Amino acid sequence: SQTIHQWPATLVQPVGSPLSLECTVEGTSNPNLYWYRQAAGRGLQLLFYSVGIGQISSEVPQNLSASRPQDRQFILSSKKLLLSDSGFYLCAWTWASGGPTEFFGPGTRLTVL
Amino acid sequence: GQQLNQSPQSMFIQEGEDVSMNCTSSSIFNTWLWYKQDPGEGPVLLIALYKAGELTSNGRLTAQFGITRKDSFLNISASIPSDVGIYFCAGQPGGGADGLTFGKGTHLIIQP
């Protein structure tokens, strides 16, 4: 079976500090990977997606970047966090062979102070 | 970008009642999905709809993909306390690896 992991689960960071969130998927190969952000009480906003190693598509201009150094690893980063970067960050995966159904990880709660 | 209008924003119901929520869009979606999210957790897929007009059930849940491809509804019959949470509709406008567009969610609260 497939599982998706995210860490850390929670993070409190000062404004201007760097960020690195990690997502890994087990039990499948060459998944499509996604990063979403969810503001408090709001829906999910797609930030980045990747169809393969080193391939990143950005959906919205922002202070964040993403990288995919390995097939089943997806990293969300920032050089300098802003207050507005606070939120719940969710990683998701889909089968590469088709079907848009996305499976979500447990999320990372980021608070920027 | 595309937007999904999800309603109602919140629902306060009695245990045992049926629930209905829906999503509409000004543009066509090729796939509709319904998720449930518990506090502090990632969304969990409830039902996926891939064809216009499709009606699919999952236990007490029933969802339909509108004929126009611009809407979908989710019904929950005989609600129970564990149904509490936030329900999201999501759609994918095209094929391929494009991510999903999400509605803003319906917060379901069940009063004993």
pLDDT digits (tens, 9 = 90+) for B41-73: 999 999 999 999 999 999 999 999 999 999 999
- Would the CB atoms of B44 and A44 count as touching at under 8 Å? no
Residue B2: pLDDT band (50, 70, 90) is low
Among candidates B40, B99, B103 on the partner chain, residue whose Cβ is nearest the Cβ of A46: B99
Cis? peptide before B43, omega within 30° of 0: no
pLDDT per position as a tens digit, A4-47: 999 999 999 999 999 999 999 999 999 999 999 998 777 899 99
Comparing alpha-carbon positions, the chain B residue that sits nearest to A50 is B97
Least Cα separation, residue B80 to chain A (angstroms): 23
Q: Give me the mean pLDDT over the A78-95 stretch.
A: 94
The span from the CA of B56 to the CA of A66, in Å, is: 36
Comparing alpha-carbon positions, the chain A residue that sits nearest to B30 is A100
Residue B96: pLDDT band (50, 70, 90) is low
Q: How far is CA B47 from the centre of its chain?
A: 8
At B40 the pLDDT is 87
Q: How far is CA B86 from the centre of its chain?
A: 10
Comparing alpha-carbon positions, the chain B residue that sits nearest to A35 is B99
- Would the CB atoms of B43 and A109 count as touching at under 8 Å? no
- Residue A56 CB contacts under 8 Å (≥ 6 apart), including other chains: A48, A49, A50, A65, A66, A67, A68
Inform me whether the C-beta atom of residue A11 falls under 8 Å from chain B C-beta atoms.
no
CB A21 within 8 A of CB A108: yes
Strands A87-94 and A103-104: antiparallel
- Would the CB atoms of B105 and A42 count as touching at under 8 Å? yes
At B92 the pLDDT is 86
Q: How far is CA A33 from the centre of its chain?
A: 8
Please give the sequence-ordered ranges of beta strands (E in DSSP) within B26-95, or none if there are none.
Answer: 31-37, 44-49, 55-58, 61-65, 71-76, 85-92
Which of A61 and B92 is assigned the larger pLDDT? B92
